[in-house]
Every structure is written in C-alpha cells, then in structure tokens.
Amino acid sequence: MPRPRVYDLDSVLDAAEALAVEGSASGVTTRAVATAAGVSNGAIYHNFGSRSELVARTWLRAARRFLDVQTELVDAALASEAADPVDAVVAAAQAPAVFYERQRQSALLLWRVQRDQLRGDDLPDAVVADLEDLQRRLIDLMIRLSTHLWDRRDGAAVDAITVCIVDLPTAIVLSRNRISNRWARDRLTAAVRAVLAAEPTPTRRKQP
C-alpha cells in the first residue's frame, strides 16, 4: 500500500518551524510535526524521507523568504536612475529587521538554526544542491551591490559588502536581540555608511 502524500506541504513546514522556534531544532521530531500538522508519520516520511531533510527544507523555505525580502529592498533602492547604491547596501543591511516585521517566525528560525547545522550524511543531493544554490544567490546579490558601488567584483569588494550586510547586522542588531530597537537600527545604518565611505583596497595577487 502506498504511503500517503501530503498536498499542503506548507502546513507541515509551518508546524516544523513553530516547533523549532518554540523549543529548538532538536524538538523537531517526525512525530511532533505530524501531530502538530494533523498528518501521519508515514506521510511525513513519504514527503521528506528523514527528520534531517524536514529540518533542512523548513530552514530553506525561511532562508528563501528572507533573501526574497532582501532582494526586494535592494531592487527598490536601485529603482531610479538617480539611486545611490549606498542606500541599497543600507537596505540590504536592514533586511533582517524588515523580515522580522513581516514574517517573525521564519526570521526567528533563521537566527536560531545555523546553516552549518543542516549538513548531514542523510541529506538528499537535491537538498544539498538547494543549500548551495541559496548561497550562490546571496553571493550574486553581494556582487551586484559591489558592482553598483565600485564597478568591482573582486574578493575585497565583495568582502566589504559582506561586512555591511552580514557582519554588522549580526553584531549590532541580531546577536543582542535589538531587532526592534530603533537606536540600534540607526547605528547599523551609520556603521554601514562609515564602512562604505572608503573604497576597499583590492587584494594583491601573489607573484608566481
């Protein structure tokens, strides 16, 4: 007898997301998710294969949602011909706070479960490929910003963008739970503008 297929996968991912946020990723068990989503254990295994895949798929959905919001904010900042690319980097840096306002549960999941925690021998190749594709999308966004700012795609330029849209938001807003603190968000904007005030020095290539 074939195992049942879940047609509303978002309801299952919603249940897994809620369990991870309310407790921890370790609390996202197949039985707990099945009970919360109102489906059978067999249906979960039929659609996700393993608990690791279920957690990874839940995290991937949240990460895609975040990157969609971040890209939307960058697009809006660059929409006019007179746009200042610094404003686009500021918008990308403020994306975690905007995402939290729009989709709080998904935002909390991303902060509590790190990407490195998702790796496992039982993850299907398709999930691993999706994780790698998401990383490429983020790098592409960074390259896009560095190109608008300095017409550069080199490592030093992209690293400067990484400081602005990953390191600074983590240090100033996320790590201290200041996501709703206007003072902290203003300091984040000021810090990003300070970093971008000077163009990064290109990394010298080693002589052969």
State mean pLDDT over 88-102.
Answer: 97
Domains of the chain in start order, with CATH, are 1-49 (1.10.10), 58-195 (1.10.357)
Q: Give the model confidence (pLDDT) of 7-17 as tens digits.
A: 578 899 999 99
pLDDT number for residue 204:
67
What pLDDT was estimated at residue 137? 97
> In this model, does residue 1 exceed pLDDT 50?
no
By CB atoms closer than 10 A (0-12, 13-18, 19+), residue 201 is exposed
Confidence of residue 26 (pLDDT cuts 50, 70, 90): confident
What's the confidence (pLDDT) of residue 121? Answer: 66
* Residue given tokens 């998401």 in the structure block: 134
